[in-house]
A and B are shown apart, each in its own frame.
Chain A
Amino acid sequence: DADVTQTPRNRITKTGKRIMLECSQTKGHDRMYWYRQDPGLGLRLIYYSFDVKDINKGEISDGYSVSRQAQAKFSLSLESAIPNQTALYFCATSDYETSYYNEQFFGPGTRLTVL
């Protein structure tokens, strides 16, 4: 969905490096989410934010931090990357109405490889 963009789309980094993944949206949604997907597995929630001042941990937040710089921007940071954080990362958005019916709009994903 072009309304939700993620940068970079691909990134290769080394163990111990700090990495930031960025998500921007033009849908005007107030709720944003970060997920990771490992090969052959489903998606797991890392962090979510229901507005600029609201940040919540998801199922697997250890080793990650987030920043909600504005309603349209939600960044995910890996302070010190490790190889088992190699995965496909997705950002998603929703608003109150779509959130009530659990409809989220996903970005194209960032493929991160940690060597």
Chain B
Amino acid sequence: DAKTTQPTSMDCAEGRAANLPCNHSTISGNEYVYWYRQIHSQGPQYIIHGLKNNETNEMASLIITEDRKSSTLILPHATLRDTAVYYCIPLGTGTASKLTFGTGTRLQVTL
């Protein structure tokens, strides 16, 4: 399984874009990049995933570098409710039993 490196913590002002980086230099060709988040003591929440093209949904955008060794999750207009721990997870499809969460990035959105 590919290993990931994420900043331990980040701050973002409310209303500004939050850009959360993830390094996954050992990702294999059939692994997608998944992003989940966990608001304090709540269950994790799926955000988005992508293989090599940039992706956007109602929650966020995902930018994956051409060499797929890193990606950035973008929350375009962060709110206080986006304060959470964000997890970047490289994973092949159909391997839900191997969905594991490391320590992630703690994003603090401030006024």
Interface residues of chain A, those whose CB is within 8 Å of chain B, are: 1, 4, 31, 33, 37, 40-45, 48, 56, 58-59, 88, 90, 92, 94, 99-109, 111
B100 close to A104 (CB less than 8 A): no
A42 close to B100 (CB less than 8 A): yes
Distance between A66 CB and nearest chain B CB, rounded to angstroms: 14
Which residues of A sit under 8 angstroms from B95, Cβ to Cβ? 102
Q: How far is the CA of A106 from the CA of B102 in the complex (A)?
A: 17
Distance between A45 CB and nearest chain B CB, rounded to angstroms: 7
Chain B residues with a Cβ closer than 8 Å to the other chain, count: 24
Interchain CB contact (< 8 A) of A109 among B32, B43, B89, B103? B43
Extra inter-chain contacts (6) besides given A45-B98, A101-B32, CB under 8 Å:
A40-B103, A90-B43, A104-B44, A105-B46, A106-B43, A109-B41
Distance between A22 CB and nearest chain B CB, rounded to angstroms: 15
Q: Does B97 contact A (CB under 8 A)?
A: yes
Interchain CB contact (< 8 A) of B44 among A45, A58, A90? A90
Which residues of A sit under 8 angstroms from B94, Cβ to Cβ? 99-100, 102
Residue of A nearest to B92 (CB): A102
* A interface footprint on B84-98 (CB within 8 Å = 1, 0 otherwise): 000101010111111
A42 close to B101 (CB less than 8 A): yes
Interchain CB contact (< 8 A) of A1 among B43, B100, B104? B43
A101 close to B100 (CB less than 8 A): no
Which residues of B sit under 8 angstroms from A48, Cβ to Cβ? 96-97
Q: How far is the CA of A41 from the CA of B101 in the complex (A)?
A: 8
A-B contact pairs, 21 of them (CB 8 A): A1-B45, A4-B43, A42-B101, A44-B100, A58-B97, A88-B41, A94-B96, A99-B94, A100-B93, A101-B49, A101-B93, A102-B32, A102-B49, A102-B94, A103-B49, A104-B44, A104-B46, A104-B99, A105-B46, A109-B42, A109-B43
